[in-house]
Amino acid sequence: MKLKQLSVFLENKPGRLRELCALLADSGINMITISLADTEQFGILRLIVSDCEAAKAVLEEKGFVAKITEVIAVEVNDEPGGLRNVLQVEEAAGISVEYMYAFTIKSGENAVLLFRFDDMDKAVDALQTAGFKVLDSVALFNRADD
Amino acid sequence: MSKFVVENRIWDKEESLPRSDLAALQSSKLRKTVEQVQEVPFYQKKFAEAGLAAEKIQTLDDLQRLPFTTKADLRGEYPLGMLAVGKKDVARYHGSSGTTGQPTMVAYTHNDLKMWSNLCARFLTGGGLLPAHSVQIAFGYGLFTGGFGLHYGVERVGASIIPAAAGNTPKQLMLMMDMQVDALVCTPSYALNISEFIIQNDIPRNALNLKYAHFGGEPWTEDMRTRIEDEMGILCFNNYGLSEVIGPGVSGECAARDGMHIAEDAFIVECINPDTLEPVAPGEEGELVFTSLSKEAMPIIRYRTRDIASLNPEPCACGRTHIRMSRVTGRSDDMLIIKGVNVYPSQVEQALLRVEGTAPHYQIEVDRPDRKDIVTVKVEMTEESFSSSMKEMQELKDRINRAIQTITGLRMNIELVSPNSLERFIGKAQRVIDHRKKV
């Protein structure tokens, strides 16, 4: 039930992000969602893309450092408290969030939350036990394409 | 600028020996030194390899037949392989400054210490020190030769010492004001810190009695001298030395402040092309090479300092006959002096190798944007060391930083950069970019 995320090391230099986007676009790789964690000197770009392995190969060929990491995608109602409800479950299970980001699905009323937890397996169990909809890649891409 | 004027004073008669007498003195002392080093297995081997018999060395012209001694040789003989006397005759040990790694040890007999303090008394006197003055020594006291070397030099002149040692700038200022100190001894970069503290704390100039300072331990520039003199209203004098040769006192400026007089009755200096090892023309820059003439515990033959400077044989207005050397303008190896600490790029490399997953591609950038040396180590990212978690990335930087600090004793900024973004070199890599041209 885990999802592949592509993380890319991005040195803070003008044009670097555009260069990366152009490479993916030229290879016909679509970004479902994107998040950038930045420091003064470098950033970590986290991407959910249509073809993770292909994207990694394209970027590596052009000298980017890219890594595939697992994250968990949870579908929640796009309404107040959506994120809190998930965090309550994880907190109760003693699991910490390493980082997270979110996006809303185009046509629906739902939002997708993407998480990296310190204990990924335990996190999935806790969420499913609590009745949350954890999306695999097929389900996620279906939602995104709706 | 300082209103203080230094009168021209010469400490002892050896400083103004006629050149012919000096040459005769050097010849006879060289013969003695060559004899002495026959006690040292390292030199026995070197002489044998060169097919050289000690008695073949008779005049100064024979000097160039002698083998060079390098830092690597001294490391190889760690700790006391270079000792030419019994351990019972050693009065004190010092070590090369800086790093927390293995130093190179040097030793002094009682006679050596006496001779050394006399050499320091010379340049201190040339640069204004009088028995009535008080001197604050803000050099580290320890293995580093700076603190103790200057300490006994000041004592030899008969002046009083405030052995403040390095660091704790507020306390330095308190002592300087309360004790109405006349002279300061430290590294030029530390003087910049002191000056900054004075400015930031609005300490009025008349609260200080400081007249002049003697700086050494690291290369500096005329721009830095002008800046410190303007800000602090003092006169600044340059001195030079290195533990392998003896420590401070190898050379120092006189009141003319136009080059540092090398104690030629104690050392023979050569200036060579570091590639061809041939002497350069007078006035041309080259690597300084020293042979000791008066040392007992650890005489040294043709020590390659790796310091680049030029020699000026022209007579000096002060009346000293000893040749003058310019400021050290660079190194013939890649050693850096950061905040007075000697650092080699190879030490940074060694540190990176200890941190798992880091690439062997790195670059060191040194700058002095205002007053303090700032070192940035650029390290290329690898897939192995990269993580999607910011916390882990910060931990990686911390690990690199700790490894560098363990080996060099210095904190450096770590900058993670894209793979292949640092220039690749064919042959000798240019690992260091030093921007410290000016203050």
CATH at residue A141: 3.30.2130.10
Q: What is the mean pLDDT of residues B58-69?
A: 92
Q: Chain A contacts of B420, Cβ < 8 Å?
A: 63
A143/B106 Cα distance (integer angstroms): 75
Token pair of B76, please? 């190889």
User: Which of A107-121, B67-81, B123-137 shows the highest mean pLDDT?
Assistant: B123-137
Burial zone of B313 (CB within 10 Å; 0-12 exposed, 13-18 middle, 19+ buried): exposed
Last residue in a domain, options A69, A91, A109: A69
Q: Chain A contacts of B401, Cβ < 8 Å?
A: none
Same domain, A84 and A135: yes
B60/B23 Cα distance (integer angstroms): 8
Number of domains in chain A: 2
Report, at the CATH architecture level, how domain B337-434 is classified. 2-Layer Sandwich (3.30)
pLDDT tens readout for residues B416-432: 998 888 877 655 567 88
Which pLDDT does position A146 carry in this prediction?
A: 58
Q: Which residues pair with B267 in a beta bridge?
A: B292
Is B424 an 8 Å CB contact of chain A?
no
Higher pLDDT, B1 or B29: B29
Which helix (DSSP H) or strand (DSSP E) does residue B342 occupy? strand B341-343
Q: Are B388 and A39 within 8 A, CB to CB? A: no
Quote the minimal CA–CA distance from B378 to chain A in Å.
11
Is B420 an 8 Å CB contact of chain A?
yes
Burial zone of B261 (CB within 10 Å; 0-12 exposed, 13-18 middle, 19+ buried): buried
B138/B425 Cα distance (integer angstroms): 41
Picking from A127, A29, A31, the residue whose alpha carbon sits closest to that of residue A72 is A127
Band of pLDDT at residue B98, cut at 50, 70 and 90: very low
Burial B6-38 (b: 16+ CB within 10 A, else e): beeebbeebbebeeeebeeebbebbbebbebbe
Q: Where are the alpha helices (DSSP H) in B287-357?
A: 345-354
Which pLDDT does position B102 carry in this prediction?
A: 67
Tally of CB atoms within 10 A around A83: 15
Percentage above 90 pLDDT, chain A: 71
Which pLDDT does position B439 carry in this prediction?
A: 47
Q: Are B416 and A46 within 8 A, CB to CB? A: no
Same domain, A88 and A133: yes
Which pLDDT does position A47 carry in this prediction?
A: 95
Q: How far is CA B132 from its chain centroid?
A: 28
Last residue in a domain, options A37, A52, A69: A69
A145/A108 Cα distance (integer angstroms): 11
Nearest CA in chain A to B420: A63
Same domain, A81 and A44: no
pLDDT tens readout for residues A8-34: 999 988 898 999 999 999 999 999 999
Q: In sequence order, what are the residues at sequence separation of 6 or more whose Cβ sits closer than 8 angstroms to the Cβ of residue B48?
A: none
Same domain, A42 and A79: no
Nearest CA in chain B to A56: B383
Q: In sequence order, what are the residues at sequence separation of 6 or more whose Cβ sits closer than 8 angstroms to the Cβ of residue B406?
A: B100, B351
Band of pLDDT at residue B236, cut at 50, 70 and 90: very high
The C-alpha angle B100, B405, A13, rounded to 5 degrees, equals 150
Which pLDDT does position B162 carry in this prediction?
A: 98
Same domain, A81 and A15: no
Same domain, A78 and A108: yes
Percentage above 90 pLDDT, chain B: 73
Is B421 an 8 Å CB contact of chain A?
yes
Q: Are B383 and A67 within 8 A, CB to CB? A: yes
Q: Does the pLDDT value for residue A145 go beyond 70?
A: no
Cα Rg, chain A, nearest whole Å: 16
A46/A7 Cα distance (integer angstroms): 4
Q: Are A99 and B390 within 8 A, CB to CB? A: yes
Last residue in a domain, options A44, A69, A94: A69
Band of pLDDT at residue B97, cut at 50, 70 and 90: low
Q: Chain B contacts of A41, Cβ < 8 Å?
A: 415-416
Nearest CA in chain A to B414: A41
Band of pLDDT at residue B100, cut at 50, 70 and 90: very low
Q: What is the mean pLDDT of residues B257-275?
A: 97
CA–CA distance from B176 to each of B231, B293, B294, B385, B405 (Å)? Answer: 16, 38, 36, 50, 32
Which pLDDT does position B101 carry in this prediction?
A: 57
Token pair of A2, please? 């885990």
What is the pLDDT of chain B when averaged over all its residues? 92
Report, at the CATH architecture level, how domain B13-333 is classified. 3-Layer(aba) Sandwich (3.40)
Nearest CA in chain B to A70: B388
Q: Does the pLDDT value for residue A37 go beyond 70?
A: yes
Name all contacts of B163-167 with Cβ < 8 Å and 24+ positions apart: B163/B137, B164/B136, B164/B137, B164/B138, B165/B137, B165/B138, B165/B139, B165/B140, B165/B141, B166/B138, B166/B139, B166/B140, B166/B190, B167/B138
Q: Where are the domains of chain B?
A: 13-333, 337-434
A33/A114 Cα distance (integer angstroms): 10
Same domain, A78 and A98: yes
Same domain, A11 and A55: yes
Percentage above 70 pLDDT, chain B: 96
Question: The domain containing residue A34 runs over which residues?
Answer: 3-69
Min mean pLDDT across A137-141, B91-95, B303-307, B404-408 is at: A137-141
CA–CA distance from B327 to each of B2, B202, B213, B321 (Å)? Answer: 22, 32, 16, 19
Residues of A near B (CB-CB distance < 8 A)?
A: 5, 7, 9, 11, 16, 37, 39, 41-42, 44, 46, 60, 63-67, 69, 98-99, 116
Question: Interface pTM (ipTM) of the complex?
Answer: 0.84
Q: What is the mean pLDDT of residues B245-268?
A: 97
pLDDT tens readout for residues B101-156: 567 999 999 999 999 999 999 999 999 999 999 999 999 999 999 999 999 999 99
pLDDT tens readout for residues A54-75: 999 999 999 899 999 999 999 9
